[in-house]
Amino acid sequence: MLFATTVSASFEFRAPAPHSYALAGGGVAFHEVHFSLNPAALLGSADYSFAFAYSRPYGLKEMQHSHVSAGRSFTKIAMAAGMQAFGYQAYQENTYYTGLSFALMEGVDAGVSLRCVDLHILRYGHAWAFPVDFGMLVKVSGRTVLGFVVNNITGARIGRCREALPRCLQVGATIEALPQLHLCVDLFKDIRFAADVRCGADWRIHNFLALRAGMATSPAKLAAGLALRFNVCRFEYSVDTHEYLGLSHQCSLLFSWGRR
Q: What is the CATH number of domain 18-257?
A: 2.40.160.60
* 260 vs 117: CA distance, rounded Å: 32
Compute the average pLDDT of residues 184-211. 94
pLDDT score for 11: 62
| Tens-digit pLDDT profile for residues 33-65 | 676 689 998 887 788 999 999 998 888 888 898
Compute the average pLDDT of residues 14-18. 67
Pairing between strand 125-129 and 246-257?
unpaired
| Tens-digit pLDDT profile for residues 108-151 | 999 999 999 999 988 888 899 999 999 999 999 989 999 999 99
Largest CA distance in the chain: 68
Cα–Cα nearest to 198, from 49, 33, 60: 33
- CB–CB of 24/215 below 8 Å? yes
Q: What value does the mean pLDDT of the chain take?
A: 89
Check residues 234 and 37 and name the one with the higher pLDDT.
234
* 68 vs 66: CA distance, rounded Å: 7
Cα–Cα nearest to 214, from 253, 191, 240: 240
Q: Give this prediction's pTM.
A: 0.89
What sign for the dihedral angle of Cα 39, 85, 11, 247?
Answer: negative
Band of residue 207 on the pLDDT scale cut at 50, 70, 90: confident
Cα–Cα nearest to 201, from 24, 63, 7: 24
Band of residue 206 on the pLDDT scale cut at 50, 70, 90: confident
User: For the chain, what are the domain ranges?
Assistant: 18-257
List Cα–Cα distances, 239 to 1, 11, 25, in angstroms: 45, 21, 12
pLDDT score for 5: 38
> Would you say residue 168 has pLDDT above 50?
yes
